[in-house]
């Protein structure tokens, strides 16, 4: 079945690295995504990784994909107060057409 | 620049009113758009898939007569919450995406029914 899970909350000090973890069950997805949601706003696509890649780096963001364990992580280097938000991982299982399956979201709080 | 425009961003209205929310694809023609609902501190729940020129596909448990979806053109889908009641108060978000490409989301509409 389709299930994407994330930890609920992460607190980190400004300047430290944040690591947000996600596990998924459906290995058929071509891409896996990370979205950011700030309070009262829609979702902003942060980054995504092709399923045959192990790692993708984009400025302060590093995505790691372990297909064997069905584990996805997002690392934010030099975390800033503006990174405080909810982060959702998501996938589109092949059987789901173009429909996203979301994790429950991880609330990241960056303390000065 | 923005890929998706959603309007209005915030609506407050009386119980029994019908409310229409618009979702526009700005960058490409979208045969499919998606409507989500989000409760406070929760993830997004897919309500329906809006299909251009045909009926929307609703997820299980979503009342199609309550949440009317119209996708009359390749750049516009509308969601109408009919005879809204306080329990319909929520954050509604649309998304647009081409097959095998990331989906882009609107800024959401906060609906408050008094």
Give residue-wise pLDDT tens across range B69-111. 999 899 999 999 999 999 999 999 999 987 778 889 999 999 9
Residue A26: per-residue pLDDT: 84
Chain A positions touching B108 (Cβ under 8 A) are 40-42
Beta bridge partners of A12: A110
Beta bridge partners of B30: none
Q: Is A54 exposed, middle or buried (0-12, 13-18, 19+ CB in 10 A)?
A: exposed
Q: Mean per-residue pLDDT for B11-37?
A: 94
Chain A positions touching B49 (Cβ under 8 A) are 97, 99
Residue A74: per-residue pLDDT: 98
Cα separation, B88 vs B13, in Å, equals 11
Cα separation, A94 vs B46, in Å, equals 17
Q: Mean per-residue pLDDT for B60-72?
A: 94
How many Å lie between the alpha carbon of A48 and the closest alpha carbon of chain B? 8
Residue A1: per-residue pLDDT: 45
Residue B98: per-residue pLDDT: 79
Residue A2: per-residue pLDDT: 55
Average pLDDT, chain B: 93
CB contact residues (below 8 A), chain B span 36-75, against chain A: 42-44, 46, 49
Residue A111: per-residue pLDDT: 95
Contact assessment for residue A10 and residue A107, using Cβ atoms and an 8 Å cutoff: yes
Chain B positions touching A40 (Cβ under 8 A) are 108, 110
Q: Which residues of chain A have pLDDT under 70?
A: 1-2
Q: How many CB pairs under 8 A join A and B?
A: 49
Contact assessment for residue A106 and residue A20, using Cβ atoms and an 8 Å cutoff: yes
């Amino acid at each position: 079945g389709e299930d994407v899970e994330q930890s609920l909350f992460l607190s980190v000090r400004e300047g430290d690295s944040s690591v947000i973890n996600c596990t998924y069950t459906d290995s058929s997805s071509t891409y896996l995504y990370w979205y950011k949601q700030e309070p009262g706003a829609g979702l902003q696509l942060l980054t995504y990784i092709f399923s045959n890649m192990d790692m993708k780096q984009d400025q302060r963001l590093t995505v790691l994909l372990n297909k064997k364990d069905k584990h996805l992580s997002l690392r934010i280097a030099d975390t800033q107060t503006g990174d405080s938000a909810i982060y959702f991982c998501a996938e589109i299982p092949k059987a789901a057409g173009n429909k996203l399956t979301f994790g429950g979201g991880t609330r990241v709080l960056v303390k000065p | 620049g923005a890929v998706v425009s959603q309007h209005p961003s915030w609506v407050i209205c009386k119980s029994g009113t019908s409310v229409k929310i618009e979702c526009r694809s700005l960058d490409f023609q979208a045969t499919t758009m998606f409507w989500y609902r989000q409760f406070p501190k929760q993830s997004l729940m897919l309500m329906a898939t809006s299909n251009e020129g045909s009926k929307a596909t609703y997820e299980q448990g979503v009342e199609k007569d309550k949440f009317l979806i119209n996708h009359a053109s390749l750049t516009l889908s509308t969601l109408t919450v009919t005879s809204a009641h306080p329990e319909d108060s929520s954050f509604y978000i649309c998304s647009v995406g081409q097959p095998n490409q990331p989906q882009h989301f609107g800024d959401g509409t906060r609906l408050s029914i008094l």
